[in-house]
Structure 1
């Protein structure tokens, strides 16, 4: 049987990749299985194509599929998309942030993929008490590092797999317990000299502000892609943190503003 021009092109690697990229851009989000059926090739072939297109920056690879760059660039992204983005940067930040955590201390972590990376980097610590609103952090913590783990209650945002509610716990009688921590590690969506630390969701911003208010020290975590941006809800001005932990040196205006606010900048290049 003679294949028409489109069918022949689908089976040629270069042509298939071009059509695949165009289809993902048009659809926004796709699965490996659906692509294999559409293009008439094996699942392994589609996986290799997606891996290559992801490496070329054409799309963003996710578990079981891919999303277009326009979909991935939306402010609110699902956890599986965010886990694929800035992975190396987040790992660098996690190592630096973990160095701020002292054995035997009490820490708070908000929900997010950067703080999730921090949780994984605490495996060599001991006797930590961790309080978080993330449903992903507790299973990521090494049992040998932990004394106690607490999860703040509230409604769960399925987009982030984190709760949005008060930073509090209550006794059996209903009265609120007074809680505090040695260090709050807070991942934010944007950092700018004018707006400080911001995020896209109002409820998350409120929870992050409350974590900051209960901490003796505060470390803001943000990769360099978040510099110079402002999102919907302010978490804090720059001076609300003791540290900004990031993967590279900020631009001059932000660096000067951080110095003026007496925020210590921690990067892989820091002495």
Structure 2
């Protein structure tokens, strides 16, 4: 395969989520050095961004943001499994921060299995499930409404976060890249997540395999301290390896048979 054709095919592979050097080497049957040269050339052209162990789609090349209704029907069974795995981190009496998103809304449906929780959330889609809890307290973070995600954000939500702390934070994201953090559609979303991280003793990110290595939005929440990633086993091993190699990351992979494997 000629260099130009191979690099075009490699660009398409990276945009589709195949971003680890080893996975690309196997796909194109060339040396690791060749893969790294090709990725560097694509990065020099501004087509991708180089990451630890691979590459990701260029940050400024945005995807249209899906509505909450659209996201709720994507990977439904997988999100339910991720939520069951996340519930294992919740103990009776915990104070929780629950981020927006369809996966965290799935976790909200399970919190009735715990008692005496205090749950702070900006996730309006989770409120029907949270309202049904009999032995826990729910506090809604006020602020401006984001109809696309059915969440609150802005100054009021930030001010509320400054006056609380939580045992555990459960986060979702449009994308998760090992050495960049959480990818979001707006600066306000990214900053609110950053504030949530500052207020929590334990940070848990819930992201199905399609979100890993995905960097098609412009705004980022860095993950600088220890955190846990819960994902599913549909992710290529090369993609997971990027997270395994990061210091401070605990990776939990949920198999398709719903058993939890700690990697």
Residues 186-235 of structure 1, C-alpha deviations (whole Å, 9 max, x = no match): 00111123422211121111111111110000001111011111121111
Offset, 1:112: 0.7
Contact 1:128 1:145 survives alignment (8 Å): no
Counterpart position of 2:183: 198
Q: 1:244 to 1:219 in 2, by over 3 A?
A: same
Alignment of 1:23-34 (within 5 A): none
Cα distance in 2 between the residues matched to 1:210 and 1:144: 26
Find the residue that maps to 2:124 and give its secondary structure: coil
Cα distance in 2 between the residues matched to 1:256 and 1:83: 28
Offset, 1:257: 3.4
Offset, 1:141: 2.1
Counterpart position of 2:248: 262
Of 159, 162, 183, 1:168 maps to 159
Counterpart position of 1:118: 107
| Runs of 5+ consecutive residues of structure 2 not aligned to the other structure | 1-61, 256-260
| Runs of 5+ consecutive residues of structure 1 not aligned to the other structure | 1-72, 170-175
RMSD (Å) for aligned C-alpha atoms? 2.2
Alignment of 1:83-98 (within 5 A): 83-98=72-87
Q: 1:100 to 1:267 in 2, by over 3 A?
A: same
Contact 1:168 1:179 survives alignment (8 Å): no
Alignment of 1:181-220 (within 5 A): 181-220=166-205
Q: TM-score, normalised by structure 2?
A: 0.67
Counterpart position of 1:109: 98
Contact 2:230 2:254 survives alignment (8 Å): no
Cα distance in 2 between the residues matched to 1:250 and 1:202: 27
Q: 1:211 to 1:188 in 2, by over 3 A?
A: same
Contact 1:123 1:142 survives alignment (8 Å): no
Offset, 1:145: 5.3
Counterpart position of 1:33: none
Of 211, 234, 243, 2:220 maps to 234
